[in-house]
Amino acid sequence: MIAAVIMFIIMYICLLTMPNHRAEVALCAALVFVVSGILPISAIMTAINWNVIMMLAGTMGIVELFISSRMPLRLAEKLISAVPNVCWAVIVLSIFAGVVSAFVDNVATVLMIAPVGLEVSKKLKINPIPIIISIAVSSNLQGAATLVGDTTSILLGNYTGMSFTDFFWMNGRLGIAFAVEVGAMLTIPVLMWLFRKEKAPVQADVETEVTDYVPSVLLVGVVVMLIAASMFPNKPELTNGYICLGLAAIGTVYECLRNHSIQNAKLVFMAIDWRTLFLLIGLFLVIEGITYAGVIDAIAELFVKIGGSNEFLLYTLIVFVSVFLSAFIDNIPYVATMLPVITTLSAILGVEPYLLSFGLLIGATLGGNLTPVGASANIAGIGILQKAGYKVSTKDFLRIGIPFTLAAALGGYITLWLIWG
């Protein structure tokens, strides 16, 4: 077990110090686990969660088509044209970013909506930095609300066997989506306070023309079909993956036939984040390796020693440790590592894993909003500002990120305990 722990720690250090080579690091670590005999060759294919990989790849493809159709920009412009001033424009754009990110990747959400905020700022000659940061942190929040909202949500759903509808209602109780929305509602007063002086009227024209409505139909189709699939308890294991990949393939073929060119197929293929997919494959293998070595059981027992049999204390520990750690490390490998720990911990305590798993997801999702580098969406938003000629300081980010995170995290934390505790 000691050798497995050492290799896992080395992998994690490399993931932190070589962010541009995370996929290679994870795959090399997986290879070492296999070659060393810690992970049996016979366990390789079953260790990889192919449903997660297929869902991510398919969703990425559909999102690329959705962005290319210009529908998100059209919707954002319509919303902005209906608000009275800059303060409410920021709030509406932030809420819209949150809603979109419940179904679309967080980074893609920022790339879609941030240009609208930038354009509003230019027209009114105001500082765009706080507006873009607000959009970025809002996109991080609601990724935890649905099964397809974020990579971590897909990991949680597949590991715990949750369907799309379980995120909203499960076992006779409100699901994690409700807690996420409570947290989101509590961020509105925070934004109102932060932008209380921005009372200039907004004049926005709805100028963007939607090029194609089929991608929007496909995105809605993913949600509808995942809901329908959740009603069949004995469905094939890869059902959700087939749905996402199948609709992405239909959309790609349609666009190629519509434009009489395979260029759209190339764009969809390039839009799939292959590095993230290979990172996950490597992580699945490494985590299976440390599970075989008994590391997961040891970590779970350590949590029990710290928190005893007090579920509230363990829940609190998991939420706020996750918030803190995710401010500095990528939440994908963190959540992928912690999910089996929580399953084992719950078994030791003799409780269902849902409360602790939901706490993990809330903490890991929101923790990234504490620092400029804590989430990919933050980095994307800052990149847009830098490209436009604006310098973003850590102070600029923390001024919004800290109160936003505290409001959302505390709201979600309390709500989850009241429902599932």
**Percentage, residues of the chain above pLDDT 90:** 21
Span 343-357, average pLDDT: 90
Angle, vertex CA 365, rays to CA 106 and CA 413, nearest 5 = 140
Nearest-angstrom CA–CA distance, 305 and 340: 18
pLDDT at 77 over 80: no
Count the neighbouring beta carbons within 10 Å of the beta carbon of residue 57. 20
pLDDT at 297 over 90: no
Give the H or E element holding residue 377: helix 376-387
Pairing between strand 173-174 and 169-170?
A: antiparallel
Of 144-158, 211-225, 230-244, where does mean pLDDT reach its minimum? Answer: 230-244
pLDDT at 167 over 90: yes
DSSP class of residue 145? G
Q: What is the pLDDT of residue 176?
A: 94
Spatial contact of 10 and 286, defined as CB atoms under 8 Å apart:
no
Domain assignments of the chain as residue spans, ordered by start: 7-15+22-420
Q: What is the pLDDT of residue 206?
A: 65
Higher-confidence residue of 326 and 242: namely: 242
Q: What is the pLDDT of residue 300?
A: 80
Span 376-385, average pLDDT: 81
DSSP string, 207-238: -PPPS-SHHHHHHHHHHHHHHHHTT-TT--TT
In which region does residue 294 sit, left (phi positive, over 0), alpha (psi from -120 to 50) or beta (all else)? Answer: left
Averaging pLDDT over each range in 1-10, 235-244, 281-290, 399-408, which range is the top one?
399-408
Q: Could you tell me which residues come within 8 angstroms of residue 59 by beta carbon, excluding any fewer than 6 positions away?
A: 105, 148, 222, 244, 248
Work out the burial of residue 285: count CB atoms within 10 Å of its CB; fewer than 13 is exposed, 13-18 middle, 19 or more buried.
buried
Spatial contact of 321 and 363, defined as CB atoms under 8 Å apart:
yes
First-to-last C-alpha distance (Å) of the chain: 34
Q: What is the pLDDT of residue 204?
A: 63
pLDDT at 182 over 90: yes
| Band of pLDDT at residue 354, cut at 50, 70 and 90 | very high
What is the overall mean pLDDT for the chain? 85
Span 382-400, average pLDDT: 85
pLDDT at 262 over 80: yes
What is the torsion angle, in degrees rounded to the nearest 10, for the CA atoms of residue 390, residue 395, residue 396 and residue 399?
180
Averaging pLDDT over each range in 152-161, 264-273, 307-316, 350-359, which range is the top one?
350-359
Nearest-angstrom CA–CA distance, 266 and 28: 28
Q: Considering only CA atoms, which of 325, 315, 310, 319 is closest in space to residue 371?
A: 325
pLDDT at 62 over 90: no
Q: What are phi and psi of 85, to 5 degrees?
A: -150, 180
Span 105-133, average pLDDT: 79
- 3-class DSSP state for residue 201? strand
pLDDT at 211 over 90: no
CA 51 to the chain's CA centroid: 17
pLDDT at 363 over 90: yes
Q: What is the pLDDT of residue 172?
A: 92
pLDDT at 80 over 80: no
Q: Considering only CA atoms, which of 198, 137, 85, 129 is closest in space to residue 403?
A: 137
pLDDT at 30 over 90: yes
Q: What is the pLDDT of residue 418?
A: 96
Spatial contact of 184 and 142, defined as CB atoms under 8 Å apart:
yes
**Percentage, residues of the chain above pLDDT 70:** 98
Spatial contact of 268 and 245, defined as CB atoms under 8 Å apart:
no
Tokens of 298: 């040891």
Higher-confidence residue of 81 and 29: namely: 29
Span 9-30, average pLDDT: 85
- 3-class DSSP state for residue 374? coil
Span 94-102, average pLDDT: 86
Side chain identity at residue 201, one-letter code = P
Tokens of 267: 């764009």
| Band of pLDDT at residue 104, cut at 50, 70 and 90 | confident
pLDDT at 283 over 80: yes
Span 232-249, average pLDDT: 85
Nearest-angstrom CA–CA distance, 256 and 105: 24
Q: What is the pLDDT of residue 315?
A: 93
